[in-house]
Amino acid sequence: MPETTTKPAAAPAEGRFEPRIVAFFCNWCTYLAADLAGTTRLKYAPNVRVVRVMCSGRIDPQFVLEAFAQGADGVLIGGCHPGDCHYESGNYKTLRRYPILKRMLAELGIEEERFRLEWISASEAEPLRVVVNDMVEKIRALGPLDLRVPAERIAHEVEEVAVP
């Protein structure tokens, strides 16, 4: 598998928010689509960090949460179309987990545009380009996702807390 070498694209416009998107792509379909996009010199937004997994069914929901917890502004999952899974049923597992994970993320205050599942086959470089560009623009409009839990201080008592 050829390694993608990314030259830094044109420097982002001053002060413009550049979303960081973690993309989990399955080895047999969406990762090959990304590869095809590269060899056919399709240009798309350089905001995705692609993690190749053997199957979209391998994407433990913990991976998605970990990506958000570590600062991703969005998470994209790409797998084979239903019926096309290299392992027969892996993408169906993804299909079953996705709607409820999306609801859980919404309850945790993460907008739905930030988490997306797309079926993209190995030949679909153009749909991949469209999906990535669209997701980047939507997340750019939303702004950064700040999940930090601030240290809290309540003035008058805290002086008494002697931290060992």
Partner 1 sequence: MTDKPKVAFYWCASCGGCEEAVVDLAEKVLDVTAAVDIVFWPVALDFKRKDVEAMADGSLAAAFINGAVRSTEQEEMVHMLRRKAQVVVAFGSCSHLGGIPGLANLADREAVLATAYRDSPSLVNPEGTMPQTSWAENGHRVGLPGLYDTVRTLDQVIDVDYYLPGCAPTPALIANAVMALLSGQLPARGSVLAPDIALCDECPRQKTKPEKLALSAFKRPSEVVLNEEECLLAQGVLCVGPATRAGCEALCPKGNMPCTGCFGATSRVRDQGAKAMSGIASTIGSNDAAEIERILAAIPDPIGTFYRYSLPASLLRRRRLGAPAGHEA
| Contact footprint for partner 1 (CB under 8 A) | 60-62, 64-66, 68-69, 82, 89, 92-93, 95-97, 99-101, 103-104, 106-112, 145-147, 149-150, 152, 154-158, 160-164
74's CB contacts (< 8 A; 6+ apart) are 19, 20, 21, 22, 113, 114, 115, 116, 135, 139, 145
Minimum gap (Å) between residue 89 Cβ and partner 1: 8
Q: Which is nearer to partner 1, 34 or 85 (CB)?
A: 85
71's CB contacts (< 8 A; 6+ apart) are 20, 147
DSSP 110: -
Minimum gap (Å) between residue 93 Cβ and partner 1: 5
Q: Which is nearer to partner 1, 45 or 104 (CB)?
A: 104
Rounded to 5 degrees, φ, ψ at 81 are: -60, 150
Minimum gap (Å) between residue 35 Cβ and partner 1: 27
Minimum gap (Å) between residue 122 Cβ and partner 1: 21
Minimum gap (Å) between residue 162 Cβ and partner 1: 7
89's CB contacts (< 8 A; 6+ apart) are 57
Q: Which is nearer to partner 1, 36 or 51 (CB)?
A: 51
Q: Which is nearer to partner 1, 40 or 89 (CB)?
A: 89
Q: Which is nearer to partner 1, 9 or 106 (CB)?
A: 106
26's CB contacts (< 8 A; 6+ apart) are 52, 53, 54, 55, 56, 58, 78, 79, 80, 86, 90, 91
